[in-house]
């Protein structure tokens, strides 16, 4: 069975026809061509598929697209302002908080969620809040430093 849905993705109104079982990540990648949101594990462990829905970080591999009819969605493609990176993206670049980059879109969206909840997080708090994002390259150290630096920048 097919369902008509509409949502706001990165500030733009989008519509689509999906099945009941279509996941948000499938809608983003396959219907809208927004392939910056990655599927890592497909078992809701790794966090590579993290996006924001109505301002909160969520795993797009574990949500139905139909469930989010009318929602406001932010993906990695919607963060930068033209050529100007979001402070979190800039901090990941500055602190070399990535190697292969596969986990990075989810890491960056999760990291922004962490700072939204806690504008001045400690290293321990950052590590606790990063439990839902797996990186197999960096050992997390530079990711923690990047989030700390971006939090400072975002506090202004």
Partner 1 sequence: MYDFTYQRASSQDEAVSNHKNADDARFLAGGMTLIPVLKQRLDKPSDLIDLGDLEDLKGISKDNGNIVIKAMTNHHTVNYSDLVKKHIPALATLAGTIGDPMVRNRGTIGGSLANNDPAASYPSAVLALNATITTNMNNIEADDFFKGMFETALEEGELIESISFPIPEQAGYQHFPNPASRYPIVGAFVAKTGGGVRVGVTGAGPCAYRQSEFEEAWSDGNLDPERIKDIKISPEGLNSDIHASAEYRAHLVNVMARRAIA
Binding of residue 123 to partner 1 (CB under 8 A)? no
Q: Is 132 helix (H, G, I), strand (E, B) or coil?
A: coil
Binding of residue 15 to partner 1 (CB under 8 A)? no
User: DSSP character for 49?
Assistant: T
Binding of residue 19 to partner 1 (CB under 8 A)? yes
Among 113, 115, 143, 146, binds partner 1 (CB under 8 A): 113
Q: How far is the CB of 117 from partner 1 (least distance, A)?
A: 8
Beta-carbon contacts of 50 under 8 Å, excluding residues fewer than 6 positions away, are 37, 57, 58, 59, 60, 105, 106, 107, 109, 110, 113, 132, 133
Among 47, 78, 87, 121, binds partner 1 (CB under 8 A): 47
CB-wise, 40 or 94, nearer to partner 1? 40
Report the b/e string of 34-51 with b at 16+ CB within 10 A. bebbbebeeeeebbbbbb
Which residues lie near partner 1 (CB under 8 A)?
1, 3, 19-21, 23, 42-45, 47, 50, 56-59, 62-64, 66-67, 69, 110, 113-114, 117, 129, 131-133
């Amino acid at each position: 069975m097919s369902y008509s849905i509409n949502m706001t993705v990165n500030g733009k109104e989008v519509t689509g026809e999906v099945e009941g079982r279509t996941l948000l990540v499938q809608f983003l990648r396959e219907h809208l061509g927004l392939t910056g949101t990655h599927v890592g594990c497909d078992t809701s462990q790794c966090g590579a598929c993290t996006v924001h829905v109505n301002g909160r970080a969520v795993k797009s591999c574990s949500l139905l697209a139909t469930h989010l009819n009318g929602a406001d969605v932010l993906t990695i493609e919607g963060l930068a302002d033209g050529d100007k990176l979001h402070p979190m993206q800039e901090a990941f670049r500055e602190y070399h908080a990535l190697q292969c980059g596969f986990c990075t879109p989810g890491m960056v969206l999760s990291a922004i969620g962490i700072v939204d909840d806690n504008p001045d997080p400690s290293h321990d708090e950052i590590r606790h809040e990063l439990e839902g994002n797996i990186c197999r390259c960096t050992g997390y150290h530079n990711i923690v430093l990047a989030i700390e630096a971006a939090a400072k920048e975002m506090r202004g």
